[in-house]
């Protein structure tokens, strides 16, 4: 089955999350183009650069979230 080259992408604000060096980062209101069928998110290069700046420069967060961590293995 071939992929449709004319996929419909919708401009949305999404929440981007990343784990790096044992730290979990959450960045809200990130502009993205989203495939409504698959949920796949696409970011423009300038958005990716800004995400990297926020994380690597450890900018001041707007808030903190307490997150429980579970172990899948029994």
Domain parsing of the chain, residue ranges: 28-60
Please tell me the distance from the alpha carbon of residue 72 to that of residue 17, in angstroms, as a whole number.
20
Q: Are 30 and 42 in contact (CB under 8 A)?
A: no
Give the pLDDT band (50/70/90) at residue 63. Answer: very high
Nearest to 30 by CA among 7, 8, 46: 46
Please tell me the distance from the alpha carbon of residue 63 to that of residue 71, in angstroms, as a whole number.
26
- Global pTM value: 0.78
Average pLDDT of every residue of the chain: 90
Sheet holding 41-42, edge to edge: 10-20, 23-34, 41-42
């Amino acid at each position: 089955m071939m992929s449709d080259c004319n996929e419909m992408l919708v401009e949305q604000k999404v929440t981007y999350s990343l784990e790096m060096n044992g730290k979990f980062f959450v960045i809200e209101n990130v502009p993205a183009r989203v495939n409504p069928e698959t949920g796949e998110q696409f970011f423009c290069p300038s958005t990716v650069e800004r995400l990297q700046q926020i994380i690597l420069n450890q900018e001041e967060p707007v808030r903190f979230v307490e997150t429980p961590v579970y172990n899948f293995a029994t």
